[in-house]
Amino acid sequence: MSAAAAPYSFESLRATRVGDSVLHVELNRPEKRNAMNKTLWREMVECFDRVAQDSDFRVVVISGAGKMFTAGIDLMDMAGDMLQSEETDVARKAWKLRNTILRFQESFSAIEKCPKPVIAAIHSACIGGGIDLITACDIRLCSQDAWFQVKEVDIGMAADVGTLQRLPKVIGNASLVNELVYTARKMMADEAMSCGLVSRVFQGKEALLEGAFHLASEIASKSPLAVQGSKLNMIYSRDHSVKEGLDYIATWNMSMLQTEDLVKSAQAAMEKKTPKDITYSKL
């Protein structure tokens, strides 16, 4: 079912092809509970920048190898960059630290910027930086044993690579987000489902991945112009007013409505066919 994706060779990630056009990306440090070290932060950008331009893949599923999704930031590995500096001037030390934070932010912003839909398949623990990661994804699925924790206040810091910016927009419940952030308490799968953090809960990891791949395959069967255009427009509309979003999609579609995909889809509908019966050109 799966085969190694040749151009996607990484140290901390494992990338495999699932079916014709789905890429499965695994956090691949199971012996370290998939803790996020400097290599993983760098390779996330490389991976998603690459898949953004790769017409062979239309959807990405991201999961964690081993017993859990991720334990979050690898504190031992990151301590040098974050806490130690040869600079003695406070302003210059702060300047370099800011650049480091911005570089780490890009690791997950790369997921959001990638026009291909990204499905997070979460099992067991999703801690700290894991929340930053999954909130940058388009769809979140989890297993019944999954739990989520915004852990940063417990280590004396405010989350700074996406959770505080994206989680409120994902859940839409300011009171609950504040509670999770201020207390660092665990949120179990059922609560994650009820509040909208995830859209489906599966019995176990095997069923979770099967469900994620099935959903990815269904999305991949649609017109890539339609799917990727929808993602880009939803992200734009999230960060702009309704009027600005409507203007943006009008400008977008004045060219995109001229695609052959629209004609193919309309013809298929008249012939009582489904999108899976249509061969859409690569994008």
Q: Which residues are catalytic?
A: 73, 129, 132, 152, 160
CA distance 50 to 52: 5
117 within 8 A of 59, measured Cβ to Cβ:
yes
User: Could you tell me the sign of the dihedral formed by the alpha carbons of 81, 40, 101, 171, in that order?
Assistant: negative
Helix (H, G, I), strand (E, B) or coil at 278: coil
Q: Among residues 130, 202, 194, which one has the least CA distance to residue 166? A: 130
Q: In which element (H, E) is residue 253 found?
A: helix 242-256
CA distance 80 to 23: 33
CA distance 1 to 208: 16
Backbone φ and ψ for 275, nearest 5 degrees, come out as -55, -25
Cα separation values, 193 from 12, 40, 82, 200, Å: 29, 28, 34, 7
